[in-house]
A = this chain, B = another copy of it.
Amino acid sequence: MPVQTKKHWQQRLHDVVYESNTIAGKAFDITLLLLIFTSILVVMLDSVEAWHSRYGYIFNILEWVFTFLFTIEYILRLICIKKPWRYVTSFLGMVDLIAIIPSYLSVFFAGANSLLVFRSLRLLRVFRIFKLTNFISEMQFLGAAIRASLKKISIFMSIVLMLVVILGSVMYLVEGRQHGFTSIPESIYWAIVTITTVGYGDISPATPLGKLVASLIMLMGYGIIAVPTGIVTNEMVNAVRNKKLHTETCPVCGRESHDADAKYCKYCGAKL
C-alpha cells in the first residue's frame, strides 16, 4: 500500500541523510564534509583580492552550486523526518540554514557573501561522521567542566570588565589625548589589550607615570590570568573525582554518589 511504501522511501532517505552506518549514508556524509570544506575554501580565496580579480567569476558560480546543493540537502533533511520543526529549531538545523541564507541575501545586499564563512560551523558534523563516540564523551567532559565553571567565569569576567573600565579611565587621565589615549572607550580597549597580555602596541603609554600605571596593570593581569585557569582546572579535577563517585546506587533508598570505599549507604545506612 502507498502509505507503507511512502514510509519506506522516507525511512531509507533518513538512513542515508541522518545515519552513517550504511554505505550510502557514509558516502553521503563524506561527500557533504568535502563540500563544506571546499565551499569555505572558496569563500576565503574569493576574499583575497588577487584571486578574486582572476577567478571571481568561477568562485561566484561555485558559490551558487554549493548553495544549491546545501539547499537540496536542507530540504531532504526536512522531508525525511517526522518532526521537521524539531530539526529546524535544533542547533545543527540552524547552522545548516545559516549556511545557505547568505547566498540568497547577497542577491539583495552586496557583501552578505562574506557571511558564508559561518559555514565553518557545519564542520561540527565531523564529530558525527567518523563515529568518534569517545571523542564525543571527551567533548561532554569538557562541556560539563566549562558549564560548571561558567558561573564563576562570568563573575570573574564582570569583575575584569569593571576593572578595565576603571583602569582605562585612569590611564585616560594620566596619559591624555596626545599619547593615543584619545577617549575613555579607547583607553578601556587599551586596558583590555594589556590585561589579557595581548599587547598589540598600537597604543602604549608614553609618560613615566603612565608606564608605571601600565606596569601595575600588567602585573595585575599576570596574577588575574591565574583565576580562570584555576576555575576550569578545579572543575575538571572535581568532574573526574565525582565521576569516580558515581558508583553503584543504594539498594534501599536508591540514591547514588557513594564513595568508592563506601560499604554502607550514607543516606539510609543500608548495606551496599
Residues of A within 8 A of B (CB): 40, 43-44, 47-49, 111, 114-115, 117-118, 120-121, 123-124, 126, 134-135, 138-139, 141-142, 145-146, 151-153, 155-158, 160-162, 165-166, 168-169, 172-173, 177, 182-186, 188-189, 192-194, 196-202, 204, 208, 211-212, 214-215, 218-219, 221-223, 225-238, 240, 255-271
Contact = CB atoms under 8 A, between A and B. Distances in A.
Contacts of A152: 138, 141-142
A4 to B, nearest CB: 42
A214 B169 CA distance: 19
A270 B157 CA distance: 46
Contacts of A151: 134-135, 138
A223 to B, nearest CB: 5
B265 A120 contact: no
A196 B169 contact: no
A246 B31 CA distance: 46
B260 A266 contact: no
Nearest to A111: B173
A135 B84 CA distance: 38
Number of copies: 4
Nearest to A176: B111
B262 A266 contact: yes
B40 A114 contact: no
A171 B233 CA distance: 31
